[in-house]
Structure 1
Amino acid sequence: MAHDTTSRHDAPAPGVPEPGTAPAGTIAEGTVPADTGAADGRLDRELAGLDALELGGAARGRALQRAWSAVWPIITAVLIALLAWQAVVWSGWKPSYVLPGPKDTLPVLWDHVTTSSFWSAVGLTMRRALIGYAVSVAFGVVIGALVSQFRVLRRAFGSLITGLQTMPSIAWFPLAIMLFKLSESAILFVVVLGAAPSIANGLIAGVDYTPPILLRAGKVMGLRGPNLYRHLIMPASLPSFVAGLKQGWAFAWRSLMAGELLVIIGSTTSLGVLLSQARELNDAPGMISYMIVILIVGIVIDQLFGVVDRAIRERWGLDD
């Protein structure tokens, strides 16, 4: 009698899993638990949050570092200037009513900046400065563009522009007063003559130093006439042009201060008029306080030009 041994030998032993099945409590190969995807998503989100936190902190740190690197030299220079000023006062070189120290001058400066009349005078001075500088930029750009493009004009007026740039602005005031009397036009006339030559020379220098290979490339690409100047020469000469604009502002500011000291128009009050009145009244603390305000305005404008210059250098890859 035949015995059926197949079922006896093929039956799994107790506790042994059937072939092709995974033991209890284990994960079959090629399968993913249902909660693993959610865990990975949470992990990715947490890592992304940590990265964002780290990058945000690094960005804030860099911003603070840049701000501090820009501020601390100015603070140091101010402290050194105040210390030197006080040292001169302590030396007894001049009596205190002629050369007061910081402790006598700074409170007077604070009293001035808290009055509306002072800010009205500052507003008038800045309005004159901006109008004169804008007119100077217009004349300087036109003159510089023409002289840089035409050799005949370069030979005729190149040296004249440089001569006008080196001429002291105060030397123009007698002529300005004869032409325009004591008026705003007299001040504007001298401001433009003081600033426009520097702006024109800055543009001329930028055009002169434009690499010839760029000019040849522009002509090959079909740039001619105004398009060549607009799309190639002006961008290439921008660094030198900005330097000319900065120098032009310095000449305009100096010319304006000289003009406001010499040309007093009716009852108008400006920084120059306040400075002149303080001198006439022998008010040394007030006079020095107005000089400090004029210096601060010059420093602020210089910082603005510095921001533009750094932006250009970064765009051109010249600043790390």
Structure 2
Amino acid sequence: MPREVADQVEDSAAVEAGLDALDTPPRSKAKGTLTRSILSPIVALALFVAVWQFLWSRAIWPEFQLPAPIAVWNEIWKVIDSGQVWEFLWVSVHRAIIGFLVSVAVATPLGLLLAKVPLVRAAIGPTISGLQSLPSVAWVPAAVLWFGATDAAIYTVVLLGAVPSIANGLVAGIDQIPPILPRVGKALGAGRLDAARYILLPAALPGYLAGLKQGWAFSWRSLMAAELIATSPQLGFGLGQYLHNGMALSEMEMVMAGILLIFFVGVGIELLVFRPLERAVLRARGLTGAL
């Protein structure tokens, strides 16, 4: 092989290696990841408790309005030690998951219709956006009058809170797809279902995932609102009912404990489910620097 040809081959290989290095997402150091994922939330939580303890020690508010952090912790430990917390979590979390999955099943085809059928978008698009901005607690009285204090009323509130967010997230994701992708699929003979499954949904995944995260948040908030208002023995005893009992008994420790338990469940679902999914999607697109 002539010397000039060998040099050209080496230069081409170097260029390809450089382009591959540019395309490869930077790997974060394990120490930095540990700090961001574990230590930072712990420091923030410790700072929050310290501020809470300081305000309590200054007696700015009476004890029945702002209990000490240790009193709230003792209340949380009491329900954990008695085993009641598992009943609360089961009743509330399984309802939220079922309601969320049903919402996804309803909102996904609805979002596809809104994004790809102009007539449907013009007809019900503003309604879907309006439902998304409507507080889910407003549906609780209507749902109770429609179905009584039953699980059907609870799930109705959850669906009406979550479906608009998921559908609008999918619409936003599809709107950002480059027009060339659907055209290529059509040129290759993809039908409507194949185009939706293999082109639209994968390409719109970042926006769709954002809609799913928001839909879960609305599912959880809607469920808590429904459980807080629609209390009945046949509905079981969830976190919302526990919070309602604390209010009825004027036990601020119970109220604060219920708020914290609801908060911890929301944060746990975010960290265990949606954060890994978001990282995987962004990593596949070379955007891990965003996390």
Q: TM-score range by the shorter chain?
A: 0.7 to 0.9
The residue aligned with 1:102 is: 69
SS in 1 for 2:288: coil
Among 177, 192, 198, which residue is 2:165 paired with? 198
Bigger drift between 238-247 and 274-283 goes to 274-283
* 1:312 is aligned to 2:286: no
Q: Distance in 2 between matches of 1:278 and 1:178?
A: 25
Q: Distance in 1 between matches of 2:70 and 2:94?
A: 32
The residue aligned with 2:102 is: 135
Among 264, 276, 286, which residue is 2:244 paired with? 276
Q: Tell me how far 1:225 sits from its aligned partner.
A: 1.4
The residue aligned with 2:261 is: 293
Runs of 4+ with >6 A deviation: none
Among 68, 73, 80, which residue is 2:35 paired with? 68
Q: Report 1:109-124 matches (<5 A).
A: 109-124=76-91
* 1:229 is aligned to 2:229: no
Among 140, 158, 183, which residue is 2:125 paired with? 158
The residue aligned with 2:183 is: 216
Q: Which has the higher helix share?
A: 2
Q: Distance in 2 between matches of 1:62 and 1:193?
A: 42
Q: Distance in 1 between matches of 2:182 and 2:102?
A: 30
The residue aligned with 2:12 is: none
CA RMSD of aligned residues (A): 1.6
Superimposed CA distance per residue, residues 103-143 of structure 1 (whole angstroms, 9 cap, x where no aligned partner): 22112211211222221121111111111111111111121
Q: Distance in 2 between matches of 1:116 and 1:136?
A: 31
Which one scores higher on RCO, CA 8 angstroms, separation ≥ 6?
2
Q: Report 1:47-62 matches (<5 A).
A: 62=29
The residue aligned with 1:80 is: 47
Q: Distance in 1 between matches of 2:108 and 2:232?
A: 30
What code does the residue aligned with 1:315 have?
A: A
Bigger drift between 274-283 and 149-158 goes to 274-283
SS in 2 for 1:239: helix
Superimposed CA distance per residue, residues 257-300 of structure 1 (whole angstroms, 9 cap, x where no aligned partner): 01001111225211111111111112111221111110000111
Whichever of the two has the greater Rg, that structure is 1
TM-score by structure 2 length? 0.85
Superimposed CA distance per residue, residues 26-84 of structure 1 (whole angstroms, 9 cap, x where no aligned partner): xxxxxxxxxxxxxxxxxxxxxxxxxxxxxxxxxxx954552333111211211121122
Gaps (5+ residues) in structure 2? 1-27
SS in 2 for 1:114: helix
Taking only the aligned residue pairs, the percentage that are identical comes to: 37
TM-score by structure 1 length? 0.78
Aligned residues: 260
Q: Distance in 2 between matches of 1:257 and 1:88?
A: 28
Q: Report 1:160-179 matches (<5 A).
A: 160-179=127-146
